[in-house]
Amino acid sequence: MNLRMAGAIVKVSQPLWLPYAAGVQFAQSNRNWIEQQRVKRPVQLIDEAMQVGKSRILRYEPDATLRTRITANELIIYLPAHLSINSPEVQKIAKTAIKRALKKEADAQLPERLAYCASKYGFSYTSVRCKSMRSRWGSCNNNQEITLNIFLMMAPWELIDYVLIHELAHTKHLHHGADFWDEVARIMPDYKQRRKALKDVQNTIAHLQA
């Protein structure tokens, strides 16, 4: 078993035959190490000019009331004079606004992209929805219902497509065995490189998901 930190998120790697509870117990037994790693990591602020998804830039603007507004190409945080950008109150409202913006964008773009990939590569599924998830980019259950993480919109399209193909492959193989990875590799021979790059993206956005 292996324990690592992805931003503020604790991740446990374990053999497929081990129950989920074993991973939870392993993490709990290493609580001191986890807390030490969290102390070491500097706080990442949501700062001016941050790219939010594919089309929006985050901007702070002076105003009498702390509030947010989402436009076609901006995410505006209105900031009263008595608050600073690094105020916990401001950071909290900024995270909430980012999730709203990403949800809006994901709902508009990811189902259409998934349908295109399914049609092109011969997959079928029953439904798709987009939501905020902390530890997974997507999921597919035995009813072929696919869920996609709205934070995918923070990744390049070639990595988004990897996740889409990954979940579509689960409609045929609901496991991570050899048959499943053969299906992914048939469509995306470089999937290992894309999967590795996606882990790097996860580290850069983990503070937004906390």
Burial class (CB in 10 A: 0-12, 13-18, 19+), 75: buried
Kindly indicate whether the domain formed by 51-209 is annotated with CATH number 3.40.640.10. no
Comparing 41-50, 168-177, 178-187, the range with the smallest average pLDDT is 41-50
Q: Return the percentage of the chain with pLDDT > 90, whole number.
A: 69
The per-residue pLDDT for 112 is 98
List the end-to-end C-alpha distance of the chain, in Å, as a whole number: 24
The per-residue pLDDT for 41 is 53
Average pLDDT, the chain: 91
Predicted confidence (pLDDT) per residue in 116-146, tens digit: 999 999 999 999 999 999 889 999 999 999 9
Predicted confidence (pLDDT) per residue in 49-94, tens digit: 899 999 999 999 999 999 999 999 999 999 999 998 889 899 999 9
The per-residue pLDDT for 8 is 59
Domain ranges of the chain: 2-40, 51-209
Going by C-alpha positions, the residue among 42, 144, 54, 47 that lies closest to residue 94 is: 47
Q: Return the percentage of the chain with pLDDT > 70, whole number.
A: 94
- Residue 83 tokens read as 């608050």
Query: Is the per-residue pLDDT at 161 higher than 90?
Result: yes
Q: Is the pTM of this model over 0.95?
A: no
Helices 191-209 and 157-169: angle between axes, nearest 10 degrees: 100
pLDDT band at 162; cut points 50, 70, 90: very high
Query: Is the per-residue pLDDT at 43 higher than 70?
Result: no
